[in-house]
């Protein structure tokens, strides 16, 4: 459903990505792995519209979405989470998720300031829906807390809940297990499967190999900005080039 | 939601009974200024406190409103309400147009650009002598009228100004607690994450800039009609800084805080009349100390500080 | 006066004020490069230079050769104190709070100056008298020459400092990447203090050499500071020739605008240029746009 065609990204004189292509299949969980500096996060930043690639295109179901800004991608159902969780710290947990429902509501400055009836109805719907997503991620008891007071693991869940509230088609997760303990990582694996069951295509960049091999249907391996291999977890584990790249690193 | 309504009703009640408790036009006049300053501080807070975008040129928009109303009514004899509406509409469009390039800038650059914009307006107020009367000001601006009622004494002006101020406060509180308010605060905390959530940060920032300018312009028109006389000194860089100080005192993102900030900064110079020249030093100190030690502002900061003391006391006991 | 002579006249006075803007702009750029802060109090250093010199000449009765260095030192002390009290305690402040704090510092210094001196405008005698000199059909004040000489000297010194001394190189390293700089053992906090010292010294010197031409008062810092910033923006915030060219360009445009269009709107020229540059070429006139890695 999402197709990436020969993406290249150059920063100054440094080539971060070189001619990378791959495509996502609906309803699958894809893992993107590779040693540090392989270009995984750069790839995410390009797909989510934060960087503009030097060359190459991205297609969503035959629609060219290259260079769309993040807010436009959001409306097409592409969402991401961040490696160092980006919460809205001064807002409550519930409000954070409500921001995730921004595209699911439409009241503008005028109807919001004058509290017009449809705004009130919409607000009720938003609150209800936000609570559901907190429930989905198992953090509804934290609804009224300030987001910056959450422990890291809960913050991660909140970020996922907020992204899910958008009801995306594709969700990109940048190192969702980073900073989590093993118990939390297991819960995360369960949650990721649950997200897939909800019909969302998931892509994750991850260093935790156990998690990647456990949940992913397919894996893309990057090394030094180039695509090294692509395949099922089993194929990747047996791929000599991949083993060499990882051993070579350290 | 109920609590917000209650807070607003208490404020409205206070505004209604205050003139009965006060005697003399001096105090009423001070309260009229509190009202105008509250409108301006709330307007700036929408931009600075919610969207996190600074403007050091808001005195310029205030001045545009005052001069547009003043010139249209006193020189061209246009009905004050029409003049006021026209001024607000034109300045809002202008702010919307300037907003796109100016809000692309961030942090220090935005501060300098808005500062420059404010100074350009200020220079025009001073130099376009044929229109504005130059440094010696513009006088003979008529009072507002509603049917047979002319707003020509302090009590009537008080009612008029505070009607607008209460309206501004109510609408801003509503906005703050809505989808738009949340999106603005999201931009403030993490613009990238807000955009990933589908918030069109660029457009929203420009819209709120225009709204903020619109409210400031209306405040300027009201100011011109209540005072009857305006001169450029009221709309300079110092006043822009004073507005920022009001917002900081009351707390970024706190609508009622802006009211408190406007109140304090209007009363303070009156109370310190004998030390008139000290006020600029005091503003400087307030800005530095508040930002360093009470970044949440008085309204939210003091309870937080008290809570810290209490919990410290508990630990010792 | 024939039009050609008139133009020469505008050009000379523009170059002189432009040199001043360049010095002030360099102060902005040096602090910005070391800390990422735009120091809104930069203009106040300029004001302090002029005002201290005035007091030292008049009140303390020092000769010019003594008053100028003492005034520079006093201003530098103010700059150091400001950095210590208001900038250093903030570890991870947002740009917004830094803007507010330096504005606070700026109006605080201005307020104290107003109380310490007065609200009047004062004139300072020219360093070598006030007899105009005829040159290329324009009449110059000796002070103009002083400005040219001092500015060239200061810019030369700063070039040498940044390129050939250990501290200068360390400061440049901080501006490229302060974390990396601290990893290789550069004391970044000292470099920040250093940048404030250099900027306040340069600013005060600019304030001193311009005062005989334009008079001085407690509030001259706002306009001079903003125009210095404008120079730095035209130059793309470089602490080298970009800003110098920016200052000279601004000075000349202003002087031509004042002479040929309207003297009342002279000050607006700088701000219109400032906005245009920020809107169209925020990286400055002379730099190529760089793709920035966020």
A37 touches chain C (CB under 8 A): no
For position B55, what pLDDT does the model report? Answer: 93
For position C1, what pLDDT does the model report? Answer: 59
Q: Quick one: average pLDDT of B35-39?
A: 96
Query: What span, in angstroms and rounded, lies between the C-alpha atoms of C199 and C218?
Result: 19
C120 touches chain A (CB under 8 A): no
- Which of these ranges, A24-28, B294-298, C56-60, has the smallest mean pLDDT? B294-298
ipTM of the complex: 0.92
Query: What span, in angstroms and rounded, lies between the C-alpha atoms of A77 and A49?
Result: 13
Q: How confident is the model over C212-267, as pLDDT tens digits? A: 888 888 888 888 998 999 899 888 887 778 888 999 999 999 988 888 887 778 88
For position B274, what pLDDT does the model report? Answer: 63
For position C88, what pLDDT does the model report? Answer: 83
Q: Quick one: average pLDDT of C191-200?
A: 88
Integer distance in angstroms from the first to the last C-alpha of chain A? 36
Q: Work out the burial of residue B7: count CB atoms within 10 Å of its CB; fewer than 13 is exposed, 13-18 middle, 19 or more buried.
A: middle
Nearest chain B Cα distance for residue A242, angstroms? 32
pLDDT category of residue B120 using cuts at 50, 70 and 90: very high
pLDDT category of residue B98 using cuts at 50, 70 and 90: very high
pLDDT category of residue A250 using cuts at 50, 70 and 90: very low
Structure tokens belonging to residue B62: 């205030």
The structural domains of chain A, ordered by start, are: 2-249 (3.40.50.300)
Query: What span, in angstroms and rounded, lies between the C-alpha atoms of A163 and A187?
Result: 17
Is the pLDDT at C93 greater than 90? The verdict is no
For position C45, what pLDDT does the model report? Answer: 93
Contact A20, A6 (CB under 8 A): yes
Give the Cβ contact number of residue A64 at 10 Å: 12
A91 touches chain B (CB under 8 A): yes
Determine, for residues C108 and B277 on separate chains, whether the beta-carbon distance falls below 8 Å: no
Concatenate the DSSP letters of all residues of C100-131 into one string: HHHHHHHHHHHHHHHHHS-SS-B----BTBS-
b/e for C57-96, b at 16 or more Cβ within 10 A? beeeebeeeebbeebbebbbebbeebbeebbeeeeebebb
- Which of these ranges, A102-111, A224-233, B71-80, B293-302, has the smallest mean pLDDT? B293-302
Domain definitions of chain C by residue range = 3-130+141-280
Question: Chain-wide mean pLDDT for chain A?
Answer: 90
Is the pLDDT at B317 greater than 60? The verdict is no
Determine, for residues A89 and B182 on separate chains, whether the beta-carbon distance falls below 8 Å: no
Strands A170-174 and A201-205: parallel
For position B276, what pLDDT does the model report? Answer: 65
CA distances to A33, A65, A204, B139 from A207, rounded to whole Å, are 7, 28, 10, 72
Query: What span, in angstroms and rounded, lies between the C-alpha atoms of C275 and C273?
Result: 5
Task: Pick B107's closest partner by Cβ from C96, C268, C279.
Answer: C96
Contact C216, C125 (CB under 8 A): no
b/e for C255-282, b at 16 or more Cβ within 10 A? bbbbbeeeeebbbbbbbbbbbebbeeeb
Nearest CA in chain A to C294: A51
Determine, for residues A12 and C290 on separate chains, whether the beta-carbon distance falls below 8 Å: yes
Helix (H/G/I), strand (E/B), else coil: A137? coil
Give the list of residues 6+ apart from residue B229 with CB closer than 8 angstroms, or none.
B137, B138, B139, B140, B141
Q: Quick one: average pLDDT of B117-143?
A: 91
Q: Quick one: average pLDDT of B65-92?
A: 94
Query: What span, in angstroms and rounded, lies between the C-alpha atoms of A83 and A179?
Result: 10
Backbone φ and ψ of A146, nearest 5° = -75, 140
Query: What span, in angstroms and rounded, lies between the C-alpha atoms of A216 and A32?
Result: 10
For position B292, what pLDDT does the model report? Answer: 82
Helix (H/G/I), strand (E/B), else coil: A170? strand
B248 touches chain C (CB under 8 A): yes
Nearest chain B Cα distance for residue C104, angstroms? 4
Q: How confident is the model over B101-117, as pLDDT tens digits? A: 999 998 888 988 999 99
Within 8 A of A82 by CB-CB distance, chain B residues are 192-193
For position B38, what pLDDT does the model report? Answer: 96
pLDDT category of residue A116 using cuts at 50, 70 and 90: confident
Structure tokens belonging to residue C239: 């602490």
SS (H, E, C) A226-246: EEEEEECHHHHHHCHHHHHHH
Within 8 A of C293 by CB-CB distance, chain A residues are 11-12
Q: Quick one: average pLDDT of B302-309?
A: 72
For position A151, what pLDDT does the model report? Answer: 92
pLDDT category of residue A111 using cuts at 50, 70 and 90: confident
Structure tokens belonging to residue B308: 């810290």
Q: How confident is the model over A16-60, as pLDDT tens digits? A: 888 999 889 999 999 999 888 888 889 999 999 988 889 999 999
Q: Quick one: average pLDDT of A175-197?
A: 91
Q: Quick one: average pLDDT of A157-177?
A: 93
Helix (H/G/I), strand (E/B), else coil: C133? strand
For position C289, what pLDDT does the model report? Answer: 47
Query: What span, in angstroms and rounded, lies between the C-alpha atoms of B78 and B85?
Result: 11
Is the pLDDT at C293 greater than 50? The verdict is no
Structure tokens belonging to residue C215: 């008079």
For position A179, what pLDDT does the model report? Answer: 86
For position C291, what pLDDT does the model report? Answer: 38
Determine, for residues A102 and B198 on separate chains, whether the beta-carbon distance falls below 8 Å: yes
Nearest-CA neighbor of B263 among B33, B98, B53? Answer: B33
Give the list of residues 6+ apart from residue C248 with CB closer than 8 angstroms, or none.
C14, C15, C18, C19, C21, C22
Nearest chain B Cα distance for residue C70, angstroms? 25
Q: Quick one: average pLDDT of C185-194?
A: 82
Structure tokens belonging to residue B129: 């002598």
For position C25, what pLDDT does the model report? Answer: 92
CA distances to B77, B151, B162, B220, C121 from B83, rounded to whole Å, are 9, 16, 20, 12, 40
Within 8 A of C289 by CB-CB distance, chain A residues are none
- Which of these ranges, B177-181, B246-250, C21-25, C286-290, has the smallest mean pLDDT? C286-290
A248 touches chain C (CB under 8 A): no
Backbone φ and ψ of A92, nearest 5° = -75, 165
Is the pLDDT at C16 greater than 50? The verdict is yes
> Mean pLDDT highest for which of A230-244, B92-106, C254-268?
B92-106
Determine, for residues A11 and C293 on separate chains, whether the beta-carbon distance falls below 8 Å: yes
Within 8 A of C84 by CB-CB distance, chain B residues are none
Q: Quick one: average pLDDT of A50-71?
A: 90
Concatenate the DSSP letters of all residues of A25-71 into one string: -TT-EEEEE-STTSSHHHHHHHHTTSS--SEEEEEETTEE-TT--HH
For position B314, what pLDDT does the model report? Answer: 58
Structure tokens belonging to residue A216: 């992913």
A-B C-beta contacts closer than 8 Å: 98
Nearest-CA neighbor of C204 among C82, C44, C8? Answer: C44
Query: What span, in angstroms and rounded, lies between the C-alpha atoms of B144 and B121?
Result: 25
Domain C3-130+141-280 bears CATH identifier 1.10.3470 = yes
């Amino acid at each position: 459903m999402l197709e990436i065609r020969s993406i290249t990204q150059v920063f100054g004189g440094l080539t971060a990505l070189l001619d990378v292509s791959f495509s996502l299949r609906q309803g699958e969980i894809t893992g993107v792995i590779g040693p540090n500096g392989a270009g995984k996060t750069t790839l995410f930043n390009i797909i989510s519209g934060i960087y503009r690639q030097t060359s190459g295109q991205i297609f969503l179901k035959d629609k060219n979405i290259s260079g769309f800004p993040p807010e436009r991608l959001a409306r097409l159902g592409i969402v991401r989470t961040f490696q160092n969780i980006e919460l809205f710290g001064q807002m409550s947990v519930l409000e954070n998720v409500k921001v995730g429902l921004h595209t699911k509501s439409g009241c503008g400055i005028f109807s919001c300031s004058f509290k017009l009836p449809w705004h009130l109805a919409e607000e009720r719907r938003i609150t209800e829906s936000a609570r559901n997503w907190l429930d989905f991620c198992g953090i509804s008891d934290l609804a009224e807390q300030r987001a910056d007071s959450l422990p890291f693991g809960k913050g991660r869940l909140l970020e996922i809940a907020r992204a899910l509230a958008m009801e995306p088609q594709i969700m990109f997760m940048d190192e969702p297990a980073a900073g989590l303990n093993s118990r939390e990582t297991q819960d995360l694996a369960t949650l990721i499967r649950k997200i897939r069951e909800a019909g969302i295509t998931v892509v994750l960049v991850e260093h935790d190999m156990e998690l990647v091999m456990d949940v992913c249907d397919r894996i893309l391996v990057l090394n030094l900005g180039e695509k090294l291999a692509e395949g099922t977890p089993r194929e990747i584990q047996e791929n000599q080039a991949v083993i060499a790249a990882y051993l070579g690193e350290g | 939601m109920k609590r917000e309504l209650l807070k607003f009703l208490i404020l409205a009640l206070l505004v209604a009974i205050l003139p009965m408790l006060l005697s003399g036009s001096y105090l009423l006049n001070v309260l009229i200024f509190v009202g105008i300053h509250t409108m301006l501080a709330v307007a700036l807070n929408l931009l600075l406190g919610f969207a996190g975008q600074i403007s050091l040129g808001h005195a310029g928009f205030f001045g545009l409103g005052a001069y547009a109303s003043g010139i249209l009514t006193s020189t061209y004899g246009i009905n004050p309400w029409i003049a006021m509406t026209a001024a607000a509409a034109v300045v809002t469009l202008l702010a919307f147009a300037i907003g796109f390039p100016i809000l692309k800038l961030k942090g220090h650059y935005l501060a300098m650009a808005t500062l420059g914009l404010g100074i350009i307006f200020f220079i025009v107020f001073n130099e376009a002598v044929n229109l504005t009367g130059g440094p010696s000001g513009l006088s003979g601006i008529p009072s507002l009228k509603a049917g047979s009622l002319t707003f020509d004494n302090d009590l009537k002006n008080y009612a008029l100004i505070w009607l607008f101020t209460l309206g501004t406060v109510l609408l801003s509180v509503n906005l703050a607690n809505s989808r738009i308010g949340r999106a603005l605060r999201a931009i403030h905390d993490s613009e990238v994450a807000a955009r990933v959530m589908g918030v069109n940060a660029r457009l929203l920032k420009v819209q709120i800039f225009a709204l903020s300018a619109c409210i400031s312009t209306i405040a300027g028109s009201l100011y011109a009609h209540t005072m009857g006389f305006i001169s450029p000194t009221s709309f300079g860089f110092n006043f822009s800084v004073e507005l920022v100080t009001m917002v900081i005192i009351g707390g970024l993102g706190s609508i009622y805080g802006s009211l408190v900030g406007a109140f304090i900064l209007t009363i303070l110079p009156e109370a310190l009349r004998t030390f008139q020249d000290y006020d600029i030093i005091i503003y400087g100190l307030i800005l530095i100390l508040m930002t360093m030690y009470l970044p949440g502002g008085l309204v939210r900061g003091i309870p937080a500080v008290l809570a810290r003391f209490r919990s410290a006391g508990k630990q010792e006991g | 006066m024939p039009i050609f002579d008139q133009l020469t006249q505008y050009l000379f006075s523009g170059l002189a004020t432009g040199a001043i803007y360049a010095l002030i702009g360099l102060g902005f750029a040096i602090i910005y490069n070391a800390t990422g802060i735009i120091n809104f109090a930069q203009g106040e250093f300029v004001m302090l230079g002029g005002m201290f010199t005035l007091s030292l000449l008049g009140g303390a009765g020092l000769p010019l050769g003594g008053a100028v260095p003492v005034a520079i030192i006093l201003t530098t002390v103010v700059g150091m104190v400001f950095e210590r009290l208001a900038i250093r305690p903030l570890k991870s402040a947002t740009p917004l709070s830094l803007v507010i704090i330096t504005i606070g510092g700026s109006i605080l210094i201005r307020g104290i100056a107003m109380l310490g001196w007065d609200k009047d405008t004062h004139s300072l005698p020219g360093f070598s008298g006030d007899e105009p000199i005829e040159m290329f059909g324009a009449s110059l004040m000796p002070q103009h020459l002083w400005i040219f000489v001092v500015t060239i000297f200061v810019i030369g010194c700063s070039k040498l400092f940044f390129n050939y001394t250990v501290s200068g190189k360390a400061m440049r390293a901080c501006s490229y990447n302060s974390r990396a700089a601290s990893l290789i053992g550069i004391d970044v906090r000292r470099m920040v203090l250093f940048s404030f010292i250099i900027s306040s010294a340069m600013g005060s010197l600019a304030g001193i050499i311009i005062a005989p031409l334009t008079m001085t008062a407690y509030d001259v810092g706002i306009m001079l500071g903003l125009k210095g910033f404008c120079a730095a923006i035209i130059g793309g915030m470089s602490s080298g020739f970009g800003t110098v060219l920016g200052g000279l360009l601004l000075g000349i445009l202003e002087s031509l605008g004042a002479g040929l269009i309207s003297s009342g709107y002279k000050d607006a020229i700088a701000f219109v240029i400032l906005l245009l540059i920020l809107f169209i070429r925020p990286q400055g006139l002379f730099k190529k746009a760089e793709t920035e890695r966020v």
